[in-house]
Amino acid sequence: MEKNSKGTLPLSELTAVSPIDGRYAEKTAALRQTFSEFGLIRNRVRVEVAWLLFLAKHEQIPEVTLSRAARDKLSAIGDSFTLDNARRVKEIERTTRHDVKAVEYFLKEQFAGVSELENVVEFLHFACTSEDINNLSWALALKSTRDDVLLPLMRRIVEQLAALAREHKGVAMMARTHGQPATPTTMGKELANFAVRLKRQYDQVAAAAIMGKLNGAVGNYNAHAVAYPHVDWLAAGRDFVASLGLTPNAFTTQIEPHDYNAELFNAYQRFNTALMDFDRDMWTYVSLGYLVQRKLPGEVGSSTMPHKVNPIDFENSEGNLGVANALLAFFAGKLPISRLQRDLTDSTVQRNMGTALANAAIAYTSALRGLAKVDVCADAMAQELDRHWELLAEPIQTVMRKHGVEKPYEKLKEHTQGKVVTADTMRAFVSSSACDGIPDDERAALLQLTPCTYTGLAQRTVDTLLDQHVVF
């Protein structure tokens, strides 16, 4: 087995400790751009560059003046940041033992030989504490991952569910409450329920403010105000954070207090919880035969039972949602707590945020794969409904109540409970003297009713729900 000079295995999808970068590397590759060490360093570089460019444009800071060519050169450092650049930052960090200072020194190296940039080199990291750079870098990672990776996956789930709901809105299905046969619904209506639930939480995730601050060592612009007392630093800090596409938080200690993290992660949790509920229901529908899975060529369901086609995608989704939610719940509870003006416990915790979001991405991808492999088996559901004519006891006794027939519930209980109930027995009851008092036209309608047609407003409700609540 290959080993490197230190006697350890080289990192690959086969040797990665975490399945995120191992077994599921293909599903999580997009997150490497934002939540890897490279992604964090690149964001730090971009924030430092953006801050210097902001200072250069400020009319009341004449010491930082850059030509268009110098500004373009400065912007290019952030825009074209490479893996080799990141390796150089890590090399510097081995000496500084400080990750943000290493970024500052790297940028000073990049300024060498460019006279305009050399002239303003000490305005790099001007009046900043490390957390000014870090909080913005993490916020950019969260925003990019949400907007470019997770929301598109979440939207695809909702859209596919809505499409399936419309397609199968009239397919009757026996509901189950407490696991027992209950009033019929339709497969489309049940799928629409999930589409609406998930869309609501999608909206909450999309609307969550992702916040940032740049206000110095304890949030008071102390150094800024001493150096340039005539600058409106409250406005400057607000404008700079907003220029990054983030929501400014003017009231902080040394750290942005992470309350928005809790809000965002709680929103993800709610989406994930609804999706977990969906995964479990889909698993159950497969088990009941309501859904049939298409077997892919070469796919093996069991190492010993050749006939099996297991609902592995919904199971994988459910499992990864559980991991994601456990981490998200921890982050939401821990990150808003920091001793006095700050402690460092948030730093190592934040480095795990990408892990939770990667598990969510795996889950969303698996749920989509599961959805793409199932077909609705209308015949199986119709056959099951035909075995449960006792389900019509509900509408019959309701019509009996309407017309003042005495003890309708008790009469139907005696007629159906613990007995094999068929179409003939239910129709015989409707035709019997037990239903005297029901007008002939309504009695005729009850005689025409079947478990498959007793679906209420389910079909109409699907279009109403989706038209009103699942709009992007």
Confidence band for 101, pLDDT divided at 50, 70 and 90? very high
In this prediction, what percent of the chain has a pLDDT beyond 70?
96
The number of residues in the chain equals 472
440-471 pLDDT, tens digit each: 999 999 999 999 999 999 999 999 999 999 99
Helices (H), 120-180: 130-145, 151-167
What stretch of H or E contains 273? helix 259-288
pLDDT band at 1 (very low <50, low <70, confident <90, very high): low
Q: Which among 457, 440, 450 has a CA at the least distance from the CA of 390?
A: 450
How many Å apart are CA 210 and CA 158, to the nearest integer? 23
Residues 6+ apart with CB under 8 A from 28: 20, 21, 358, 361, 362
- Tell me which of 178, 230, 307, 433 is the catalytic residue: 178
pLDDT for the residue numbered 3: 63
Element (H, E) at 374: strand 374-376
Q: Which of 106, 22, 111, 36 is nearest to 74 (CA)?
A: 111
Structure confidence by residue, pLDDT tens digits, 75-88: 999 999 999 999 99
Instruction: Give the pLDDT of residue 306.
Output: 43
Domains assigned to the chain: 28-126 (1.10.275.10), 131-298+309-377 (1.20.200.10), 389-450 (1.10.40.30)
- How much helix, strand and coil, in percent to the nearest 5, is found in the chain? 65, 5, 30
Average pLDDT, integer, range 29-47: 97
Q: Which residues contact 69 (CB under 8 A, 6 or more apart)?
A: 116
Q: Which of 12, 67, 287, 302 is catalytic?
A: 302
Q: What is the pLDDT of residue 305?
A: 43
10/272: higher pLDDT: 272
Q: What is the percent of the chain where pLDDT is above 90?
A: 90
pTM of the model: 0.93
3-class secondary-structure state, position 328? helix
Condensed to tens digits (0 to 9), the pLDDT of residues 380-426 reads 999 999 999 999 999 999 999 999 999 998 998 888 888 889 999 99
**Strands, E assignment, 41-193:** 172-177, 180-186
Give tens-digit pLDDT for 60-74. 999 999 999 999 999
pLDDT value of residue 303: 43
Question: Does the pLDDT at position 295 exceed 90?
Answer: no
pLDDT tens digits, 306-353:
444 678 999 999 999 999 999 999 999 999 999 999 999 999 999 999
- pLDDT tens digits, residue range 111-154? 999 999 999 999 999 999 999 999 999 999 999 999 999 999 99
Between CA 291 and CA 172 the distance in angstroms is 13
Burial class (CB in 10 A: 0-12, 13-18, 19+), 226: exposed
178 is catalytic: yes
Instruction: Reply yes or no on whether 125 is catalytic.
Output: no
Query: What is the average pLDDT score of the chain?
Result: 94
Q: pLDDT digits over 177-191, tens only?
A: 999 999 999 999 999
**Mean pLDDT for the stretch of residues 197-217:** 98
Asked whether residue 302 carries a pLDDT value surpassing 60, the answer given is no
Q: DSSP assignment, residue 49?
A: H
DSSP three-state, residue 24? coil
Residue among 469, 372, 355 nearest 156 (CA): 372
